[in-house]
Structure 1
Amino acid sequence: MGMGWWRWLRWEAAAVLRAARSAVTGPGPERDAAVQSLKAAAAAALAWAATASWGAPLALMAPWTAVVLVESTVYRSVRSGLQQLVVVAAGTVIAAGAAMLTGNKMGAMVLALPITVLLGNYARFGRQGMYASTTALFVLAYGSYSLYDIGHRLLESVIGAAIGITVNALVFPPVHARSVRHMLYTLPRDSADLLHTIAEGLREAGDEGYTQEDAESWQDRARRLANAVTDLHTARGWDQESYRLNPGYRMRRRGRAAPPADWDETWDGISEHLKTLTRTLREAAPDEHDLAPPPSGALGLAADVLDAAGNVCEHDLHLLDEGPEEEREARRAADLDRAWEAHGRLKDSLSQLDGESSASLGGLVADMQRLLYALGPQLPLRSRAA
């Protein structure tokens, strides 16, 4: 158990170092996160300086509001700011009213907190709803409920919101186009790498076959690819939102336009077929008992199919940079043809089998056929020649 914790800590430390190195060496999600963190800290410091200097009764409200409003987009900062001002005002008034009715902090908490927690669960307030109850706690802890104090707290919240939104809008206003392009690169690159890895594993397996550990590793990577498709959908939403109310929109270099959303649907299908394929491989592993493993000769043919399919994915990766040039399209089509030709040979080998091995090989043949159709909606060479 101790060694497991140590490995986990080492992995986490390595991941943190990689993220820090990426933030320093080049643009990307890591640098964007670092910039937003520094902006939030600067906004909080400015809000504190603006309110503490004239003796605000609860100067904490301003930096607290400012730091949470340096959001991922300017539009989200404005929307969250309006939500938070309503929530803070409601929490302040409810807490002050409860304190005046009960005359003590404990009674006021018992009365105010259920109301503010319920208010915070109202869907229209989103993530900002939780601040209704925390604001009430701050008000009750400081113990001042006069109209003067309530007005100051609302003013401090307004100042903090204004500073947070202004910093986010004017200092490197966030735009998420890079996140979309990063995910667009991730899908074909990681799909190609997974397909080549499986092909290499099947070739090296020999007569003994691949191991269950290999198959589980392939399946885990295929699951992560499916998660990357979800991340791509999310990134596109962030990208569209990041241009709303963004004063830096026209000043940003925009680069080549990203492929349309149809690209996402294509890779959604490819990732699902890879999940199915790796599940079949896991179920047919020699040390599993779900399916009998395919013969080693058939695994070599399957490796040829997957290798060529991996090359097709690599061509899709390069097309993101260099556009649909005829030469690249021709090489992609040639690799897809090779994949279909190897698939035809694999299908022929299926007809020569009988017994339990034919079930696992038949599953692999069907999974690969669906994958190839997703990579290119064209018929196998023999069918096209006919």
Structure 2
Amino acid sequence: MVVQSLKAAGAALLAWLVARVWLGDPMALMAPWVALVLVQATVYSSLLQAGRQFAAICVGALVASGAQAVTGDTTGALALSIPVLVLLSNWPRFGDQGIYAATTAVFTIATGTVSAAAVGHRLGQAALGAAIGVAVNALVLPPVHLRDVRENLAALVRDTGELLHTLAADLRQGEWDGQTAADWLAATARLQRRLDALDSARGWSRESLRLTSGLLRALYRAPTVALPPEQEDERFGRVTGHVTALTRTLAVAADENRTPAAPDHTVLSRYGELLELIGDHCLSEAGRLAEAGARAEAEPDEETQARMRELYERLQRALYEDDAGQGPARTAVLGTLVLQAENLWAELVPGVRADDTGPAE
């Protein structure tokens, strides 16, 4: 933010020097004004906004000049042109630059310049300011937004692991109720906000690399390291969905006014241990993702995998033998929980299935 602010100020000052000092323009207002607002968060957005703003300025200058020529009066010209231009500023093609049509009209009418030469002069000043603003943004410390992607992805995975640990602890202690489930649901909502922040950061990263020179990025900034691939965003987005689903299942089971009932404490304790193992792997993945250039994801050690399979088999046995005799409501809840745990494991450790070995000894 500091760098971009200084660049915007520098672009405005440079445009003023070029227009007022070097070109001797006594009305050198438009050039620094346009240069200032066109130092955007990315080079691509600067170029896009330059086109939109220049179009809005052209429309504002032409409409204002026409209104003043028709009315021959400053107040009448303002009354005739400003309502039309403010309405036109909402046109989606202008984006957030449409208001400059109206402000340009105010400047044009206030100075009383309606000749073709005066209008052309203002447009030339706008073009000069746009060129300087875009050039400064592209050539001086070009803004590249890469760090936020890695940070948001690592934070999403870390928060997922911590939520799984919280779920595991509550289930194993057996002290959870509707309020506890509400806290879990609030935590899953925070995961969704993390996922939205990751999506936004990925979009900024993708846009900031457009129209920027790799040579200049290497010259002015630390060399950009490879980001986690976008497939990682999709994978952990699915993980977030599975965690949300199992949390909602538990919340329904905790509601005394709903039919589905929670499995007994012994079964939930095993399920909590299974979630804890999955949460451990999430935290390991978060540490890997936080490090630039870290190794590819590693599988859990054999002991962890063996324990996971043992827990999975015991839950399957409870599903088909124990809980089946306690009614379909409990069976439905446990079946959903086991399915979501298996989905989580399949996403986090793609090469290892929860049930790819025989019965645990």
TM-score, normalising length from structure 1? Answer: 0.76
Aligned-residue offset at 1:174: 1.0
Distance 1:332 1:263 in 2: 22
* Match of residue 360 from structure 1: 333
Distance 1:340 1:67 in 2: 61
* Match of residue 316 from structure 1: 285
**2:235 is aligned with what amino acid?**
T
Are the structure 2 counterparts of residues 379 and 169 from structure 1 closer, same or farther at C-alpha, using a change threshold of 3 Å? closer
CA contact (8 A) 1:57 1:149 kept: no
1:51-85 CA deviation, whole Å, 9 max, x = no partner? 566564362x3333122211122233233223322
* Match of residue 156 from structure 2: 187
Distance 2:159 2:182 in 1: 20
* Match of residue 14 from structure 1: none
CA contact (8 A) 2:242 2:340 kept: yes
**Equivalences for 1:1-386 in 2 at 5 Å?**
33-48=1-16, 51=19, 54=24, 56-57=26-27, 59=29, 61-105=30-74, 107-109=76-78, 111-113=80-82, 115-117=84-86, 119-206=88-175, 211-241=180-210, 244-245=212-213, 248-251=216-219, 252-286=221-255, 289=258, 291-320=260-289, 321=291, 323-324=294-295, 329-331=298-300, 335=304, 338-351=307-320, 352-353=322-323, 354-355=326-327, 356-378=329-351, 380-385=353-358
Percent sequence identity over matched residues? 36
* Match of residue 19 from structure 1: none
Distance 2:153 2:144 in 1: 16
CA contact (8 A) 1:341 1:381 kept: no
Q: CA RMSD in A?
A: 3.3
What is the count of residue pairs matched by the alignment?
350
Aligned-residue offset at 1:214: 1.8
Partner of 2:109, secondary structure, is helix
Partner of 2:77, secondary structure, is helix
Give unmatched runs, 5+ long, in structure 2.
none
Are the structure 2 counterparts of residues 99 and 284 from structure 1 closer, same or farther at C-alpha, using a change threshold of 3 Å? farther
CA contact (8 A) 2:68 2:114 kept: yes
Aligned-residue offset at 1:88: 0.9
Give unmatched runs, 5+ long, in structure 1.
1-32
Structure showing greater radius of gyration is 2
**2:10 is aligned with what amino acid?**
A
Aligned-residue offset at 1:373: 1.8
Aligned-residue offset at 1:200: 2.6
Distance 1:105 1:290 in 2: 74
Aligned-residue offset at 1:92: 0.8
Partner of 1:206, secondary structure, is coil
